[in-house]
Amino acid sequence: MSKKGKVYLIGAGPGDPGLLTLKGRDCLAEADVVVYDRLADPRILAWVRPEAERIYVGKASSKHTMKQEDICQLLVDLAAEGKTVARLKGGDSFVFGRGGEEALLLRENGLPFEFVPGITSAISVPEYAGIPVTHRKVAASFAVITGHEDPSREKSGINWAGLANGVDTLVFLMGVENLENISRNLIENGRPADTPAALIRWGTHPEQRTLITTLGKAYEDVVRTGMRPPAIFIVGEVVKLRDELSWFETKPLFGKTFVVTRARAQASKLTGQLEAEGAKVIEVPAIRIVEPDDFAPLDNAQKNLDSYDWVVFTSANGVDGFFRRLRLNGKDSRAFAGCKIAAIGSATEKTLSRYGLAADLVPASYKAEDLTDALLPQLTKDSKVLLARAAVARNVLPDALRANGVAVDVVPVYKTVSDCENKDQLKESLKNGEVDCVTFTSSSTVTNLMEALDGEKELLKGVTLATIGPITADTLKKAGFSTDVEAEEYTIEGLMDALNAHYEVKA
């Protein structure tokens, strides 16, 4: 019997990918096909299996990639083929999401479906703007209303008199283009023109913008400021609470756009910390971590690991790469029983701890020069050292050890290659003056980003440039730029501390 397909109608939430539900995440990971719309944050698709098919059916006002009837039929066709389908919709499928229409056609065709609720923008977007839809002393009721009704209806289905006089807080979704009509109907039916109101664009995103106005002036203010969809319109006395409850737009880095140049696999840590402080992040990975050209030197070193007195790791990447290969060679952490271990910094030390090992030596400052100074007193001329690192790196440490008569084997565990994704987006954003800061977390990110700019390095003029430490700063200087922000502790946490301090002072 052929496999029976199924459709999960998933609410993706209002925009912030962290607001996707756990069940929604699990259904995305299970899907053979994901059908998604315009308002789903692209990062939510990271939960989709790489081999799964992705079909974009986004709709904007007057610009439909696919008509709703065709979307409904697409879901039927895919499920009929026996596929597990994730239909990813912004907000919640039942709040003007037309999920009911899609499910009804599936039911007509005898195909199973399941709804996965999403956090609706009707509540979450005002919350991100510091506006509660209810409050014990201000509002005991709220209503969610479509901003544009079905154009085929001969008569409005909205009870304007009831809304204007019977509900404390009114939330209109997708109402910017019909704002003049909405405001007029409410005022004509008795809602005072001076009722506090707000428009919130791209709510829960780092691009969120809030316009505080009144019901009578809302349309005029939207025209004056040029506010465009997607935005919600909220009317009611609760808007006054924003002055005391605003939290998202008051974060230290809110309104700032940062470029993260770390390798894709590592960018999420810095991206997450920047976004936690309210920043918008453009990930432009300038490097990619790949396997070394030849594993023979590393395999030989691991085979004879007990012959070394010290094993030195100069990065978290080196630790991870070393242990991946160690497992393939049939060994584990016990292979280090006769060795001492040195790590260049806290991030490298922390990665070692994940494999059950504690570093015997971590220098106070995270540079090769400092590691050399700390390690040399621990060695004799009979000592043998294994340095596991990137294929291309500075030779400060091995040169200094050899100059003191210490035997050193340098083995490549990984290599970095230029892989500047999204460089066109970066150049466009720089040309439009949309970038506030570019972060560099290694010398290779500097070198490769400069190459990716294709002779247009001048686009970085006027942009704040931040480096993770003096070595990276020196590389940036050689490229013709000075460092505006430099971490005192050469870690992502140290870089974040420096960025927060920089922008706090500027503010």
CA distance 390 to 329: 20
Contact 296, 325 (CB under 8 A): no
Q: What is the DSSP string of 185-251?
A: HHHHTT--TT-EEEEEESTTSTT-EEEEEETTTHHHHHHHHT--SSEEEEESGGGGGHHHH--STTS
CA distance 409 to 362: 20
Residue type, 422: N
3-state secondary structure of 122: helix
CA distance 330 to 332: 7
List the catalytic residue out of 16, 83, 92, 174: 174
3-state secondary structure of 94: coil
Contact 423, 284 (CB under 8 A): yes
Contact 243, 220 (CB under 8 A): no
| Rg over CA atoms, the chain | 28
Q: Is 269 a catalytic residue?
A: no
Q: What does the block give as tokens for 474?
A: 């020196």
Omega before 112 within 30 of 0, i.e. cis: no
The widest CA-to-CA distance across the chain, in whole angstroms, is 93
From the centroid of its chain, how far is CA 85? Answer: 24
From the centroid of its chain, how far is CA 276? Answer: 10
Q: Which residues contact 377 (CB under 8 A, 6 or more apart)?
A: none
Q: Is 155 a catalytic residue?
A: no
CA distance 418 to 185: 58
List the catalytic residue out of 6, 16, 32, 37: 37
Q: What does the block give as tokens for 337?
A: 């029983």
Q: Alpha helices, DSSP H only, in 65-98?
A: 68-80
CA distance 409 to 319: 16
Q: Is 59 a catalytic residue?
A: yes
Backbone φ and ψ of 416, nearest 5°: -105, 135
Mind telling me the catalytic residues? Answer: 37, 59, 174
